[in-house]
Structure 1
Amino acid sequence: MIVSKFGGTSVGSYEAMSRSANIIVDNPKRSWVVISATSGTTNDLLRLCSLPINSDEGNGLLEQISRRHLDIASQCSFKKEAIKAVEECMHNLSAHLSKQQSSKDHSETQWVDTLLAFGEILSTQLFAWVLREKNLDVQLKWAGNFICTDSVFGLAAVNLKVTYAKLQHFLTANEGFGSDLKPGNVLLTQGFIGADVQGRTTTLGRGGSDYSAALFAEALEAECLEIWTDVAGVYTTDPRVVSTAHAIDEISFDEAAELSIFGGKVLHPAMVKPVRRANIPVRVASSMEPELPGTNIVTNPLNRPVVRTLSVRKEQTLMTLHSLEMLHQPGFLAKVFSILSEHSISVDLVTTSEVSVSLTLDTAHKASNKVELSEAVLRALNDFCDVEVEYNLALVAVIGNALNQTLGISGQLFSTLKDYNIRLISHGASANNVCFLVDESDAEAVVQTLHQSFIG
């Protein structure tokens, strides 16, 4: 069995859905399909969350969402059925919006998760009919029947034991599903969403569809996980920044994990862990050009260059703390981390001297990378140290292999970047990355310089 996940651009129009459906038809092993919301829909739903019901802007967004999906439905061979499915979903969406105004029986975050799930509900309803056009026998299943989470709405944690038990129960109850599945049979479900033990809809965070697909692949013991997107694999860097950037044939799970954490938008950070744990290869490919090889993510790639790829994470925040209390005194960092934890701020990179510590702040799960430190946080820190905060920085990650063991690599990197002001460097903690913090205005030039020197 192959688990195939299609992103928002791969299902963003009737033409895109038809191309993606043809990919499934081409290989009968693609029997478990995971779908994101159509491109732009989740953002529209997020905007709806903050708008008054029946406002002009809110009604306009509802009309935009409806029109986007009805346009797809109207081109489907099963036009009548597809249009009916969209209209029913939009009716339920409107009813849910009204519920927030009249009910106090739920939290706002719970209400938002249920609202956001309509994006995936709409896309899977439509994609099911497009698959049926191709004479496929489609089972459309609600992801919450499989993905069991806690009740932390907005960024729910998956209960792996319960989730995998539910999936194994499904396989047992549907004997023959999997490697012996009859050609033409497809199970279709949503990414991004799950349900808690009370059956309430939860979400796994932005980009969580990749994570959903990886969990399905591990639990179902898939032979491969495919991530279908709008780019032809994982690139050496963003081709919009470096014209000579190219797709990589093969990378390791370790490299993929680093790339996903440090800003590689093709991969979701949580996706790598389940497939690496189960040693399931991943293929990242373009649904627009499925004939291209894409990038394979495997345990042991044939080629392991010292520098494989470069990634950038903009809108970074650097906080520097100065205090003589640090000198030979235990517990200083513990006190700092405790305060940040109380305000739900997690730390990314850390460098220290005898009387100061610099921290970059982890924003991997936020809609924007920029962290605004509240007055309460700054007051708590200022009680025992001087605090300096800098914004508008960028983290440039050099990702590769044996970077902490390669003789002279630090000197080569610093020599290459001699014309730029390096605000912070992180080297040695990982064999797979070296990170530089630079002014955001220098980020693209830094990447171009590094790519030319180390990749070509």
Structure 2
Amino acid sequence: MNTNELNVLKFGGTSVKDAETINKVHQIVSNYTGKQAIVVSAHAGVTNMLVDICNSRKEEISPLLSDLFQKHTSIAKELGILELVNEFITNELSEIDVITNYLPLSPQLKDVVMSKGEILSSTIIYTYFKNKGLKVSYVDAREVMKTNSRFTNAELEFDKSCEIIFERFTSEYLSNDVTVMGGFIASDEEGRPTTLGRGGSDYSAAVVASALGAEELQIWTDVNGILTSDPRVIDGVKKIRKLSYSEASELSFFGAKVLHPSTIHPAVKKGIPVRVKNTFNPTDDGTLVLSERSNIKMIKAIAFRKDVVTITLCSNRMLGAYGFMSKVFQIFENLKIPVDIVTTSEVSISVTVDKSEYNSLVEKELSVLGEVVISDDNAIIAAIGEGIKQTAGIANRLFGALKGINISMVSVGASEVNLSIVVKDVDMQRAITLLHEEFFSGELNPEFFE
């Protein structure tokens, strides 16, 4: 089999949330030519329901399990396959009942519970596809995705998993055009279920794409692609048609939830394009994420992060002092506070941290080294695009657009893909609007924007 003729399609929870959306997925899959590997998340809301079950008292579990049973059987009934999967659904949920009511919920058993969402959704979707006449096979992710035993956030044994995936999928494609597999789940060497943590389904799909040398990895969601800014904050945003992996990574850091680049890294590393598409508007081309960096330098997006704390340390001891910076960052490391932006002068250092990560002990620890000033009402705004540092006039345009708005910090990322500033929360929306008007009003390059 020529795996270059194969596409890997990953459908997220909103794309398989009910019978109607699963039928849309079937239409999308049916319209494709060539081989396809379909990786699916749990139905929307199910993962949260499973988390609630794990965190509930025993007397609260029964009604939650009833809700889960009702959700899955309702979907199956609407799809016309309830008789085919009813016993399977009952058995899977009965296992959750036994675990949560009669056994101590260890991390290992929590993974058994959390794996049920993708096991159920993938089985329902496979059964529906088969019932509709597709030449389809089912691959149990626990048989091909192999990890260590770090339950709830396991690490994949990449080479071993790729070898198993290649053998299993290529065997299935001898007689079928489509395979269906649940994302997010795997198993350790002893066959015990494990889960892959945040973005696990995207990661599963990327590993399959890498193992099979797929032509394209497609992430199907509920938006047309990646946008130039957040439409909930400003009007007039554009769809980005094409961007680099580096640009996508920066956007993810600033909160773009459509794609989490670390999860698609296995595909990008192998040079496989990743396309973000809309299940509810499948004719739209979406956004293409490429491993290679573009030679055309431009701003692709204005991103932001709210609820940012700035910490400034002033000390004359910094002047010519060897090892001073290492002492500062050792404090952050000891308190397990991740630092985002760093700027320095001869006698001061300023950093930003997410408010949710802030620990008030840092002020006390840093005060040993100098005067400390804390500000907790800030936002980071970033202009993102390849080659910002080498593109003349970008900084002038940015600062010119923001005249009248106080900027407390400025940083150009080491990747040279983002130019970040820090402003007060109250100025954030105005600043984003002004920057978006500056860089995205008027005629745009149709190769990159729509």
Shorter-chain TM-score range? 0.7 to 0.9
Is 2:365 the counterpart of 1:373? no
Offset of residue 219 of structure 1: 1.4
Deviations 1:158-214 (A, max 9, x none): 23222223223435xx5473xxx55x5322112222233343333332222112211
RMSD: 2.6
The residue aligned with 2:434 is: 449
Work out which of the residue numbers 96, 121, 124 in structure 2 matches 1:123: 121
The residue aligned with 1:37 is: 42
Q: Which AA in structure 1 matches 2:158?
A: L
CA spacing shift, 1:384–1:295, aligned 2, 3 Å: same
CA spacing shift, 1:358–1:208, aligned 2, 3 Å: farther
The residue aligned with 2:25 is: 20
The residue aligned with 2:140 is: 142
Is 2:182 the counterpart of 1:190? yes
Q: Distance in 1 between matches of 2:115 and 2:406?
A: 44
Q: Distance in 2 between matches of 1:34 and 1:46?
A: 22
Q: Distance in 2 between matches of 1:343 and 1:78?
A: 53
Mind listing any 5+ residue stretches in structure 2 that lack a counterpart? Answer: 1-5, 442-450
Is 2:84 the counterpart of 1:81? yes
Is 2:348 the counterpart of 1:356? yes
Work out which of the residue numbers 152, 164, 167 in structure 2 matches 1:166: 164
CA spacing shift, 1:14–1:404, aligned 2, 3 Å: same
* Contact 1:10–1:229 (CA under 8 A) maintained in structure 2: yes
Q: Once structures 1 and 2 are overlaid, which stretch shifts more, 385-394 or 7-16?
A: 385-394
Q: Distance in 1 between matches of 2:389 and 2:163?
A: 40
Q: Once structures 1 and 2 are overlaid, which stretch shifts more, 268-277 or 218-227?
A: 268-277
Work out which of the residue numbers 419, 436, 443 in structure 1 matches 2:404: 419
Q: Which AA in structure 1 matches 2:351?
A: L
Offset of residue 453 of structure 1: 1.0
Q: Distance in 1 between matches of 2:100 and 2:389?
A: 52
* Contact 1:313–1:395 (CA under 8 A) maintained in structure 2: yes
Q: Once structures 1 and 2 are overlaid, which stretch shifts more, 333-342 or 378-387?
A: 378-387
The residue aligned with 2:247 is: 255
CA spacing shift, 1:429–1:130, aligned 2, 3 Å: same
Offset of residue 142 of structure 1: 2.6
Offset of residue 300 of structure 1: 5.3
Is 2:415 the counterpart of 1:430? yes
The residue aligned with 1:366 is: none
SS at match of 2:341: strand
Deviations 1:121-146 (A, max 9, x none): 22112212221232124332232322
The residue aligned with 2:3 is: none
CA spacing shift, 1:140–1:359, aligned 2, 3 Å: farther
Offset of residue 387 of structure 1: 4.4
Q: Distance in 1 between matches of 2:345 and 2:151?
A: 39
The residue aligned with 1:295 is: 287
Deviations 1:17-57 (A, max 9, x none): 110121111114352111111112222322333322223xx
Q: Distance in 2 between matches of 1:254 and 1:220?
A: 24
* Contact 1:257–1:272 (CA under 8 A) maintained in structure 2: no
Q: How does 1:42-441 map to 2 (within 5 A)?
A: 42-55=47-60, 58-99=61-102, 102-103=103-104, 106=106, 109-171=107-169, 174-175=170-171, 177=173, 181-182=174-175, 185-299=177-291, 304-361=296-353, 370-373=356-359, 375=361, 379-427=364-412, 429-441=414-426
Give the fraction of aligned pairs with identical amino acids, expressed as a percent.
Answer: 35
Q: Which AA in structure 2 matches 1:80?
A: E
Mind listing any 5+ residue stretches in structure 1 that lack a counterpart? Answer: 364-368
Q: Once structures 1 and 2 are overlaid, which stretch shifts more, 425-434 or 275-284?
A: 425-434
CA spacing shift, 1:440–1:61, aligned 2, 3 Å: farther
* Contact 1:150–1:159 (CA under 8 A) maintained in structure 2: yes
SS at match of 2:423: strand
CA spacing shift, 1:176–1:140, aligned 2, 3 Å: closer
Q: Distance in 1 between matches of 2:140 and 2:416?
A: 40
CA spacing shift, 1:115–1:393, aligned 2, 3 Å: farther
Q: Distance in 2 between matches of 1:130 and 1:392?
A: 51
Q: Once structures 1 and 2 are overlaid, which stretch shifts more, 352-361 or 218-227?
A: 352-361
Q: Distance in 2 between matches of 1:437 and 1:156?
A: 36
Please report the TM-score for the alignment, with normalisation by the length of structure 1: 0.87
The total of aligned residue pairs comes to 436
